[in-house]
C-alpha cells in the first residue's frame, strides 16, 4: 500500500517534517512572532508537502503565505472543551468577549489600513447596543475589560499591530488615553473561515462535516478516525460510529499518523491514543506543571488507582453515557440562541440536528467503575491532610471541594473520567497514571531543614521535560503546590494484561489547536 504522506520527504528530513506537522496541528495561527520566532520559517519549508498531506489525511485546508500559516479544519462535532483557543492569560472568553470579537472583525473595512481605538469603540458601540442582552457601556469597567482582552487577542495573532498608545492606559484613563492600530486584513480574513456562510444556516450543525451514512466510502470514515486521533486525548471505540471504530481497530490509520507526527500509538482493548513523550502536542500538559488543579488531578488518579487495586470488586460498574448525547444537546442549546432575522431561507443550509444514538451503540457501550462523590471528597481531604492546605495555593486552601470540582473537570476534558450523577466513572485511560507519586517542592536553602517527602526511587521518576514537575514549581496563583513524580503505567489491555508506558508520556489534550 503506498504511503499517504511525506512522499517527497527524505528519511534524514523526516524529523523536521514531523515537527512542522505538529506545529501546524497545535497552533491556531503561525506568524513571524507566534508562537515564537523561527517557527514560521520551519513550517514554510514544508508548506507544499504539508498542504497535500493534511488534505489527504484529514480533509484539512492549509493556508500558507510568507507572513502566516493557518489550518482550516473539518469539524466532526461541537466540543465544549475547546475554550483555550479564545482566551487570554489562561482565562477562556465568555459570551461577551466572543461577541465583541465577532463585531470587531466585522467592523474592519478593506479600505482601511489603520484605525484608532476611539474609532473602533465608536463602531462597536451601536452594533453591540443593537444586540439584545449585549450592549457596550464606556462607563462600565467590565465592558472595557472585555474589549481590552479582545483587542489583545487580535494583537497577539497579528490581526492588529499597536503602533501608538496603550490599551491599558486607555482602560485606566477613560477618555484620556487612546491607541492606534495597523490592520492586517489577510490575517483578519483567515481568522474567520466557517465551513459555510453563517447567514445561510438554520442550525449550528451546518458548521460540521457531513455525517457518515451506510453508503459513505471507507476513506471518509478513515479521515474521521484520523481527525479524532489528533483532536482527542483518547478515542474509545464505544464512543464513535461503528465504521470509524472498525477503521481504528485495524492497522494502518493510527500507525500512519504516528509516522507523520512522531507520536506513538498506544492500543488497548477499549480504544487507541497517540502519546507524546515530549508533552508538547497538547493544550493541557498532564501530568506535571499547570497549577494546583493539574497536580491535584494527578494525585487523585493515583488514589483512584489504589482504590481499584484494593477494592475493585466493591465498585459498581455502570455504562458510560455516550458523548453523542451531550453533543446533540449542545447543538440544540446553540440553535436556541441563533438569530432568525437575516437568514435567507431560499439559500439556507438545512441539516438535520445530530442524534444522540447510533445503530449498534447499545451492544458496544463501554462500562466503567463508579467512584461515588463521597469517595472523591474523602480523597481530597486526605491530600489536604498529607500536604497541608497551604500547599494548594491561596485560591484553594479554604475550598477543597471547589478544587475537587476543578480537578474532575480537567480529568473529564482529558477523557480520563466521566462525571455522572452521584460521582464519576473512571475511564480506562486513567490507569496509565496509576503510579504517580506526590512530593512537596524543594525550597531554597534558608538555613533551615526542608520539609518534604523522600525522593522516589529512580525507577519511578520522570525525566524532566517542559511540562513536567521540577523542584520549586509553583501553582498558577503563586503559591507552592504539591508536585507529581513517577511514570504512568499502561492501562489494562486485552486479557487484563498491563502494557507499560514510558516515563515522560503525555496524552494529547482535546483541542490541539
Cβ burial of 340 (10 Å; 0-12, 13-18, 19+) is exposed
Q: What is the pLDDT of residue 192?
A: 84
d(CA 396, CA 463): 29
Residue 150 CB contacts under 8 Å (≥ 6 apart), including other chains? 93, 97, 100, 101, 104
By C-alpha distance, which of 410, 388, 417 is closest to 481?
388
Three-state secondary-structure class, residue 368: strand
| DSSP 8-state class, residue 157 | T
Q: What is the pLDDT of residue 391?
A: 87
For each of the domains in the chain, give its residue range(s) and CATH number, in order of start.
11-73 (no CATH), 87-191 (1.10.10)
Predicted confidence pLDDT, tens digits, the chain (513 residues): 445 567 778 889 999 999 999 999 999 899 999 999 999 999 999 999 999 999 999 999 999 999 999 999 988 888 877 777 888 887 889 999 999 999 999 888 766 888 888 888 999 999 999 988 899 998 888 999 999 999 999 999 999 999 988 888 887 765 567 889 999 998 988 888 887 777 778 888 888 888 887 778 888 999 999 999 999 999 999 989 899 999 999 988 999 899 899 999 999 899 999 998 887 888 777 876 668 899 999 999 999 999 988 888 889 999 998 888 788 888 888 888 777 766 666 666 666 655 554 444 444 688 999 999 999 999 999 999 999 998 888 889 899 999 999 999 999 999 999 999 999 999 999 988 877 666 545 444 444 444 333 333 333 333 333 333 222 233 333 333 444 444 333 333 323 333 333 333 444 444 444
C-alpha cell belonging to residue 313: 470488586
Q: How much is the pTM?
A: 0.79
Burial 456-486 (b: 16+ CB within 10 A, else e): beeeeebeebebbbeeebebbeebbbbbbbb
By C-alpha distance, which of 413, 402, 394, 439 is closest to 302?
439
Q: What is the pLDDT of residue 183?
A: 92
Amino acid at each position: 500500500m503506498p504511503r499517504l504522506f511525506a512522499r517527497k520527504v527524505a528519511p534524514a528530513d523526516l524529523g523536521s517534517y514531523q515537527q512542522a506537522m505538529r506545529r501546524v496541528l497545535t497552533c491556531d495561527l503561525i506568524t513571524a512572532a507566534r508562537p515564537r520566532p523561527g517557527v514560521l520559517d520551519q513550517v514554510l519549508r514544508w508548506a507544499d508537502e504539508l498542504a497535500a498531506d493534511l488534505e489527504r489525511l484529514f480533509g484539512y485546508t492549509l493556508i500558507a503565505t510568507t507572513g502566516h500559516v493557518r489550518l482550516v479544519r473539518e469539524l466532526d462535532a461541537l466540543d465544549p472543551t475547546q475554550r483555550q483557543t479564545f482566551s487570554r492569560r489562561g482565562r477562556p472568553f465568555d459570551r461577551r468577549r466572543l461577541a465583541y470579537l465577532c463585531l470587531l472583525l466585522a467592523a474592519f473595512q478593506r479600505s482601511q489600513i489603520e484605525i484608532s481605538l476611539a474609532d473602533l469603540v465608536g463602531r462597536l458601540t451601536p452594533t453591540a447596543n443593537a444586540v439584545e442582552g449585549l450592549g457596550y457601556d464606556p462607563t462600565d469597567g467590565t465592558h472595557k475589560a472585555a474589549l481590552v482582552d479582545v483587542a489583545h487577542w487580535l494583537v497577539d495573532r497579528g490581526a492588529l499591530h499597536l503602533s501608538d498608545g496603550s490599551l491599558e492606559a486607555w482602560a485606566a484613563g477613560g477618555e484620556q488615553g487612546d491607541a492606534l492600530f495597523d490592520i492586517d486584513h489577510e490575517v483578519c480574513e483567515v481568522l474567520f473561515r466557517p465551513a459555510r456562510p453563517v447567514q445561510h444556516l438554520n442550525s449550528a450543525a451546518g458548521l460540521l462535516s457531513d455525517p457518515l451514512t451506510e453508503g459513505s466510502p471507507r476513506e471518509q470514515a478513515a479521515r474521521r478516525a484520523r481527525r479524532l486521533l489528533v483532536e482527542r486525548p483518547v478515542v474509545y471505540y464505544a464512543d464513535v460510529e461503528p465504521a470509524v471504530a472498525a477503521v481504528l481497530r485495524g492497522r494502518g490509520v493510527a500507525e500512519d499518523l504516528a509516522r507523520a507526527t512522531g507520536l506513538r500509538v498506544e492500543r488497548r482493548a477499549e480504544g487507541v491514543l497517540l502519546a507524546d513523550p515530549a508533552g508538547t502536542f497538547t493544550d493541557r500538559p498532564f501530568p506535571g506543571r499547570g497549577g494546583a488543579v493539574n497536580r491535584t488531578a494527578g494525585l487523585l488518579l493515583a488514589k483512584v488507582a489504589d482504590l481499584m487495586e484494593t477494592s475493585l470488586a466493591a465498585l459498581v460498574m455502570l455504562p458510560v453515557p455516550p458523548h453523542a448525547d451531550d453533543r446533540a444537546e449542545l447543538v440544540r442549546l446553540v440553535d436556541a440562541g441563533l438569530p432568525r432575522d437575516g437568514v435567507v431561507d431560499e439559500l439556507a443550509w438545512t441539516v438535520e440536528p445530530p442524534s444522540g444514538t447510533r445503530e449498534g451503540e447499545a451492544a458496544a457501550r463501554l462500562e466503567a467503575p463508579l467512584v461515588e462523590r463521597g469517595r472523591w471528597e474523602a480523597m481530597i481531604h486526605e491530600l489536604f491532610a498529607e500536604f497541608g492546605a497551604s500547599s494548594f495555593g491561596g485560591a484553594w486552601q479554604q475550598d477543597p471541594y471547589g478544587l475537587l470540582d476543578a480537578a474532575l473537570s480537567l480529568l473529564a476534558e482529558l477523557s480520563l473520567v466521566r462525571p455522572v450523577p452521584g460521582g464519576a466513572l473512571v475511564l480506562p485511560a486513567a490507569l496509565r497514571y496509576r503510579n504517580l507519586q506526590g512530593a512537596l517542592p524543594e525550597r531554597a536553602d534558608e538555613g533551615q531543614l526542608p520539609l518534604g517527602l523522600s525522593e522516589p526511587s529512580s525507577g519511578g521518576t520522570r525525566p524532566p521535560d517542559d511540562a513536567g514537575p521540577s523542584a520549586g514549581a509553583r501553582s498558577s496563583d503563586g503559591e507552592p503546590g504539591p508536585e507529581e513524580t513517577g511514570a504512568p503505567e499502561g492501562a489494562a489491555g486485552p486479557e487484563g494484561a498491563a502494557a507499560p508506558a514510558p516515563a515522560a508520556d503525555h496524552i494529547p489534550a482535546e483541542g490541539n489547536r
